[in-house]
Amino acid sequence: MHYFMLKQDEQMRQVMEIEPRSGGDSREHGNLYVREHAGFAFTDWSDKPQRIVSDRVKRLLELYELELRSSTVILNAREAKRQELYWRIEPPERDLLSSASERDAMGIWRKIVLDAGKLALTRSKLFTAAGCCFVHLDVAESLLRRASTGFILVPANISRS
């Protein structure tokens, strides 16, 4: 049983930077703007300021997770006069954390450990736990075969209970 945490690739964050919205919560709007600069490119994954994926990645994720909630987002590049369809995704939250997971005094997760027993019962391929997005090996391989960009895969800590 192999799971990976999907995290923003910090090197790719500079490639596609989403501009902070002024005047309101950007979650309420379907339009986001990107900062254009030399080396700018649209990537398939971004988790800041919110979790968004390209249309092709969203279609792939839906094959593995039927409960994937999503809403459309249009990413705009003003100078290039280009718009791309993206999706704000909300993978289902699962209670799969092991008692070995740890939080600091501020409530921030220092160590996230998934419970092997709970994972075996749910057989989830895509989910969130402790605010982080996790994927099964099948999903990770599919993403890599399609040369998806903007993320790194970090092997998840799984308890051996």
Residue 38: the pLDDT is 74
C-alpha to C-alpha distance for 147 and 132, rounded to whole angstroms:
22
C-alpha to C-alpha distance for 44 and 60, rounded to whole angstroms:
12
pTM (two decimals): 0.85
The single-letter code of the amino acid at 148 is S
Q: Which helix (H) or strand (E) holds 136?
A: strand 132-136
Domain count, the chain: 1
Residue 107: the pLDDT is 78
**Sole residue written with tokens 């999907």:** 6
Domain that holds residue 87: 3-159
Nearest to 156 by CA among 107, 102, 115, 104: 115
pLDDT score of 92 more than 60: yes
pLDDT digits (tens, 9 = 90+) for 107-155: 788 889 899 888 888 878 999 998 899 999 999 999 999 998 999 999 9
Average per-residue pLDDT for the chain: 86
Instruction: Evaluate whether 18 touches 123 at the Cβ level (below 8 Å).
Output: no
DSSP alpha helix (H) spans, the chain: 10-13, 55-64, 116-122, 137-145
DSSP at 137: H
Residue 88: the pLDDT is 94
